[in-house]
Amino acid sequence: MHMSFNKIFRLFIIIVVIWMIGCVTSFLSGPAIIFLGAPSWLPLPWSDFDDFVQSPDGKVLVDIKFYNRVLCYGGNGEFIASYPYPPGKPKVTGLAVNGEGHVFFRARNNLYVYNNSWNLLEKVEGEFSIHRHWRLGEDGKPVYATVDIEAPKVPDRAAKPGEYLFREDSRRTMFTCKDGSRLVRERNQLKRYSAEGGLIGKYSEPWFLSIFTFPWPALLAWPIAFLFAYVENRKRFLLGQQKKSDPNKVRKRLLLDTTVTALFFIITTAAIVMGGSVVMVIANALPKSNPMHFWLVPIVVIPYWIIVIIVAFWTWRSLLRRLGEIKPADSEGNGQNNMTTIDLQEDSGMSSGNKNANG
C-alpha cells in the first residue's frame, strides 16, 4: 500500500509539472503568435476573451486579445478559423456587425470592415480620441462620431443605420442573434439560448486547451511552481540540519511549514485583491472630472500592496523561525532516557569499581 501511494504521488507530481510547463509555454506563445503569426486552422485558448458577435450567416466571432486573434465558429460550435488582427498589434479593440453581413473591427482610432470570411473590404481612419466612437450612417457606412459621448448606447445585436457600434467597455455580456436566440457570456465561454430560454449550443476552446487559459486556471501554475520549489528546498534544509534526523520528523515538519506557507500565500493574495477592489470601486464612483478618479488607484493601491507583502513576509519568516525553535516532546523524552541510561551506566561502573576495590 505504501509503494502504491508513492507511485500515485509521483504520477501526480509528473502531471502537475507537465501542466506547469504547458502553462509557461502557453504564456510565451502569446507574444510569439502576435509577432510571428499562426495558421488559421490552429485553435487557441480563450485567454483575455473580450468581445463577441454573430454575423447574419450564423458565424460566431470571438475577440481573443491575448493572441491578437479573432476566432470564428460555426452555428453548432465547431471551430472554423483563427483570423489575425490588422497590422499594428492594437489592444483597444471591439467587434460589431450589420444586417448586410459586414464585420466591423475597431483598432484604436481606426475601423476595419471585413466580410464574413475576414477578407478586408475597407479601412476607415478616425481622429485620435480617448472615446473612439463609431456609428453607422444613414447609408450604412461607418462614420467616426465627433460628438464627445462617454458611454453611448450600443445595441446587443446587428447594428442599424444611425446606431453606435462599440461600447466604452467592450466586454459584452449578451448578443441577440438574427433568429432570436441569444449568446450569453458565462465565465470563459459562450452559451447560446433559444428565444424560449433553452440551451442549444456552446462555444469555447477545446477542453485540452482550457487548462492553459490565462488568467485562469493557467495563472495557478506560478504559485504551484513556487510551492514545489519551496518544498524541495525546505526538505534539503531540514535534512541538512541533522544528518541522522528521523525521516518521519522531517516529513511532519515539512508538511507543517508547507501548510503555513500556503495559508500565508492565500491570505496575502486575498488581502491584495480585496483591498485593490475596494479602492477601484471608490475610484470608479468619483466623477471622471475629479483627478483622483485616475490617481487614487496608483497612490493608494501600490503602497498598500507593498505594505501587505512586507508584513506577510516578515510574519511568515518569524513564524517559521519560532516553529524551528520548538523542540519535539519525544526528543526531550529521548534525552531523559539517554540521561537515565548514562546514570545507570555510571552507577554500575561505580559499583563494579567498589567491588574491585573491596576485592
Do 120 and 251 lie in a common domain?
no
Do 114 and 242 lie in a common domain?
no
Do 104 and 127 lie in a common domain?
yes
Do 204 and 221 lie in a common domain?
no
CB neighbours of residue 103 within 10 Å = 24
Of 175, 210, 245, the residue at which a domain comes to its end is: 210
Distance of alpha carbon 26 from alpha carbon 42, whole angstroms: 13
pLDDT at position 74 is 92
Do 201 and 247 lie in a common domain?
no
Please state, rounded to an integer, the average pLDDT across all residues of the chain. 81
Do 178 and 223 lie in a common domain?
no
Distance of alpha carbon 308 from alpha carbon 275, whole angstroms: 10
Each residue of 4-16: pLDDT tens digit? 656 777 787 788 8
Of 184, 210, 236, the residue at which a domain comes to its end is: 210
Do 159 and 80 lie in a common domain?
yes
Cβ(164)–Cβ(154) below 8 Å = yes
E-strand spans in 142-263?
142-144, 174-176, 182-186, 189-193, 199-203
- Cell numbers given for 336: 531523559
Do 30 and 144 lie in a common domain?
yes
- Give the residue among 38, 63, 45 at the shortest CA–CA distance from 212: 45
Angle made by CA atoms 292, 296, 297, in degrees to the nearest 5 = 140
Q: What is the mean pLDDT of residues 204-233?
A: 83
pLDDT at position 347 is 46
Do 241 and 187 lie in a common domain?
no
Domain that holds residue 34: 26-210
Number of domains in the chain: 2
Whole-structure pTM value: 0.70
Question: Does residue 182 lie within any of the structural domains?
Answer: yes
Question: Does residue 297 lie within any of the structural domains?
Answer: yes
pLDDT at position 327 is 56
Question: Does residue 351 lie within any of the structural domains?
Answer: no
Question: Does residue 2 lie within any of the structural domains?
Answer: no
Question: Does residue 133 lie within any of the structural domains?
Answer: yes
Question: Does residue 165 lie within any of the structural domains?
Answer: yes
